[in-house]
Structure 1
Amino acid sequence: MRNLVGDVSSAARILPALDGQALFIRNGKGPYLWDDQGQRYIDTALGFGAVLLGHADDSVNAQVAQALGDSASPSWAHVREHAAASALAAHTGTLSRVIFTNSGSEAVHLACRAARAYTGRGRIAKMAAGFDGWFDDVSFGNVGSPEAAFADGERPSTGRTTLLRFNDFDDVERLFAQDQDIAAVLLEPMLANAGCIMPAPGYLQHVQAVAHRHGALVISDEVLMGFRLHAGLASLQAGLDPDIASVGKAIGNGVPVSAIVGKPHILAGFEEGKVLRGGTFSGNPMACAAVLATLATLDSAAYPQLIERGEKLRHAVQAIFKAQGITISTSGYGNVFAIWPCERAPSDYEEAAAFADAAFSQALHLALRAEGVLVMPSPYGRIYLSFEHSDEVVDQIAHAFEAAAARLAPRFAGGGVNTR
């Protein structure tokens, strides 16, 4: 009898069987994973974006092991926690105050708590179909839910959360005309978990301006995009001025760690004892050691070359499918992008829901897995590259796509996939 519910602790890990064989990973190194049968795969899920330096980075592992040896849980303030906070704040501009947590969901939860406490308001506005964690408040309106689609034509809301249509400039104006209890707008640099939907030019700036005009804060959820395009926040690179940001994933290269960073006056309530923060493992020595080691490496990392390799792969994938008569497009950035079975990538969630083809995405996952490449099986999945994905590895991924596209052509060429 199985003891682990559904064989996984997180639903995102569910994969279809290939030739009757389930996949169980044993270990990883660099761009590769090995399963329990010894089969090697090139990994493009990378801890759902957490593994930016490559699996089992030597420097990160060594510092985490040292921290574990020094004491896993010393209870009190420790030197690595302060050092990691200073290192992180050096990359986040005016968001100079730091609180560590353990997961992206926790970080977003704490950011929302901070916004409610600072403004005295009760409701958070999030993007419909945006993924800001699995806690009840912010899982409202996730991909696939009727709320994300505004199914009844009205704005979906609870007592604590309301939804915005991503890339709809007028909708944010309507929201604040209707609701004076908005503490913060929770936004992402791109709508990643809905298939890397890119913001329209000026959209994020518009949301920020309207929110601030109405006394609401802006929380930039950068658990996925933070430190992926450069050694810092994607929102700052885009010219935004958020009040709080949540970060995680890449700041620890797969070691469980997250944080909020905020402007000092916004987070002052925590120091004054007016707002609760806690967590036995928040800011633990191993997590902080991982942050220190990861950020030190990212400071000299070749981001332009990584993004260029990703763009090379995107263009190769599009050409490969075109040669097989299969219509696809891509959206996102070089080192994190989505594949869409349609002529152009969606510009909003309504289009994304219409374009999504679960049969195509699962077939592509299985075909690539048979060729030794792991991709997410979801129609909203993403392809990630790490700094360990060399030109040679990217070429190997492209060759796997050639074989996979040939395998899929009889089923999906011509009119078999969306032609919108």
Structure 2
Amino acid sequence: MPNLVGDVSSAARILPDLNGEKLFISKGKGAYLWDDKGRRYIDTALGFGAVLLGHSNDSVNAAVTEALGDSAAPSWAHVREHGAATELAKHTGDLTKVIFTNSGSEAVHLACRAARAYTGRGKIAKMAAGFDGWFDDVSYGNVTSNEASFQDGKRPSTERTTLIRYNDFADVERLFAEDNDIAAVILEPMLANAGCIMALPGYLKHVQDIAHKHGALVICDEVLMGFRLYAGLAGLREGLSPDIASVGKAIGNGVPVSAIVGKPHILAGFEEGRVLRGGTFSGNPLACAAVTSTLTQLDDNDYESLIQRGNDLRAAIEAIFESHGVIISTSGYGNVFGVWLGMTSPVTYEQAVEKANPAFTTALHLALREAGVLMMPSPYGRIYISFEHNSFVIEEMKVAFEKAAAKLSAEFANA
């Protein structure tokens, strides 16, 4: 009997068997992963968004190796932490104060603590079907949960968390009419974990304005989207002025690191010792080395070309399936997007629930895996591409999608 619960420590890693075999990865480099049988795959999960420079980036690896040689856990203030914080703050506008954590879940948890301490209020409002970490408070209302879909007047709520509907302009106004204990609203630039649902024009700014009008803070959860569209926060590009943002994933290119960044007066309670923070490994030398090396490289990379390659891939995937009689659509951006069976992609979670087709996405995952591409099997999953997904890799992906579409055409044509 295996000792590891369910074969994995995070449920997101669970994949269906292919021809009776489980998948175990042995190594990765660039755009590729290799399994324990030596088979090579193009990776489109990329650490669920963390690996933007490509797997095993030489510069990041060298910086982390050097830090490891100097001591992985020196306990006290060390020489790499200030530099990493300064490098991060260069990219986050007015959010100039930094606290490092180890995971995105920790960062969101700390951001919520900061909001409660600053406002004196107890409740956090999050987007229904959004994923803001796996801790109890903010995992409430995650995608596929019973709470994520609700009618007017029946808002799901706990003592510490309440939900609002993404892209519903009126719902956030109703929220503050109903509840005066909202410390903060967590905003996601795109509802990525619900299948890359894009924000409607003006929606994010509307939520921010209503929250600020009622004395609540705005937390931008940028763990997934931060640094993916450009070397900075997606919310700032949308014209937002959040009070706090959680960042992670891409800032360390796969090395475990996350952080909150905030306006100085919002995070002052931590510096004054009025608000608790901790974590043996928070801001450790390896993480800080990874942040400094990663952000330096992201500044020099061509995001515009990356996103264009991804948009070309999206168009090609849609055309390939159409040529086999299967109509699909995609939603999101060039370097992170979802695939939906049908002519249109959803703009609300309710539409996403109607359009979700687990049979299709599982079949697509298995067909692509046979063709040498790894893709999330969930209908709410995403395809990522990294800077290592060059034109040659994109062409390889198109060949794999051609094989997959041909295999799926008999079952899903005219679906």
Same fold at TM > 0.5: yes
Q: Counterpart of 2:113?
A: 113
1:343 Cα offset (Å)? 1.0
Could you tell me which residue of structure 2 aligns to residue 177 of structure 1?
Answer: 177
Aligned partner of 1:353 in structure 2 is 353
Residue 24 of structure 1 aligns with which residue? 24
Do the aligned partners of residues 322 and 153 (structure 1) sit closer, same or farther apart at CA in structure 2, a change above 3 Å counting? farther
Displacement of 1:321 in angstroms is 0.6
Structure 2: distance between partners of 1:238 and 1:186: 15
Q: Structure 1 stretches (4+) deviating beyond 4 angstroms? A: none
Instruction: In structure 2, give the amino acid aligned to 1:230.
Output: Y
The code of the aligned residue for 1:223 comes to: V
Give, in angstroms, the shift of residue 327 of structure 1: 1.3
Deviations 1:209-241 (A, max 9, x none): 000000000000000000000000000011100
* 1:370 match: 370
Report how far residue 363 of structure 1 moved: 0.1
Which amino acid in the other structure matches residue 159 of structure 1?
E
1:296-311 aligned at under 5 Å gives the runs 296-311=296-311
CA drift of 1:152 comes to 9.1
Aligned to 1:332: 332
**Can you list the C-alpha shifts for 1:321-380, whole angstroms capped at 9, x where unaligned?**
111111110000000000011110001000001100000000000000000000000000
Aligned partners of 1:181 and 1:158: how far apart in 2? 12
Counting aligned pairs with the same residue, the percent is 74
C-alpha displacement of 1:267: 0.1
TM-score using structure 1 length: 0.98
Deviations 1:1-42 (A, max 9, x none): 100000000000000010001100000000000000000000
Work out the CA distance in 1 between the residues paired with 2:136 and 2:152.
Answer: 21
- Write the distance in 1 (CA, Å) between the matches of 2:322 and 2:2: 44
The aligned amino acid for 2:170 is D
Residue matched to 2:82: 82
2:99 aligned partner: 99
> What are the equivalent positions in structure 2 for 1:99-248 lying under 5 Å apart?
99-150=99-150, 154-248=154-248
Q: Report whether the alignment pairs 1:320 with 2:285.
A: no
Which residue in the other structure is 2:404 paired with? Answer: 404
Q: How far 1:103 sits from its partner (Å)?
A: 0.2
For 2:347, the aligned partner's letter is S
* Matched pairs, number: 415
Pairwise CA distance, 1:151: 6.6
- Distance in 2, matches of 1:251 and 1:89, equals 12
* SS state at 2:197 partner: coil
Determine the C-alpha separation between the residues in 1 that align with 2:269 and 2:343: 50
* C-alpha deviation, 1:79, in angstroms: 1.3
How big is the shift at 1:153?
5.8
State how far apart, in whole Å, the 2-side matches of 1:153 and 1:398 are.
47
Shift of 1:75: 0.5
Residue deviations 1:63-117, cap 9 Å, x none? Answer: 0000000011000011100100000000001000000000000000000000000
Code of the residue aligned with 1:86 in structure 2: it is T
CA distance in 1, matches of 2:151, 2:274: 39
What is the rounded CA distance, in whole Å, between the counterparts of 2:273 and 2:152 in structure 1? 42
Q: Which secondary structure does the structure 1 equivalent of 2:19 belong to?
A: coil
Q: How many Å separate the matches in 1 of 2:348 and 2:231?
A: 28
2:286: which partner in 1?
286
Deviation at 1:150, TM superposition (A): 1.4
Q: CA RMSD in A?
A: 0.7
The whole-number CA distance in structure 2 between the counterparts of 1:187 and 1:355 is 24
The one-letter code sitting in structure 2 at the alignment partner of 1:359 is A
Whole-angstrom distance in 2 between the partners of 1:187 and 1:328: 28
Amino acid at match of 1:88: L
Matches within 5 A, 1:389-400: 389-400=389-400
In 1, distance between residues paired with 2:142 and 2:236?
Answer: 25
Partner of 1:250: 250
Give the letter for the 2:119 counterpart: T
> SS where residue 148 of structure 2 aligns?
coil
| AA at the equivalent of 2:42 | I
C-alpha distance in 1, partners of 2:179/2:29? 50
Structure 2 residue identity aligned to 1:105: S
Matches within 5 A, 1:35-54: 35-54=35-54
Look up the equivalent residue of 1:90 and give its one-letter code. K
User: What's the TM-score, normalizing by structure 2?
Assistant: 0.99
Structure 1 CA distance for aligned equivalents of residues 240 and 331 of structure 2: 21
**Amino acid of the residue matched to residue 130 of structure 1?**
G
Unpaired runs of at least 5, structure 2: none
* Mapped partners of 2:198, 2:79: distance in 1: 40
The alignment partner of 1:266 has SS state of coil
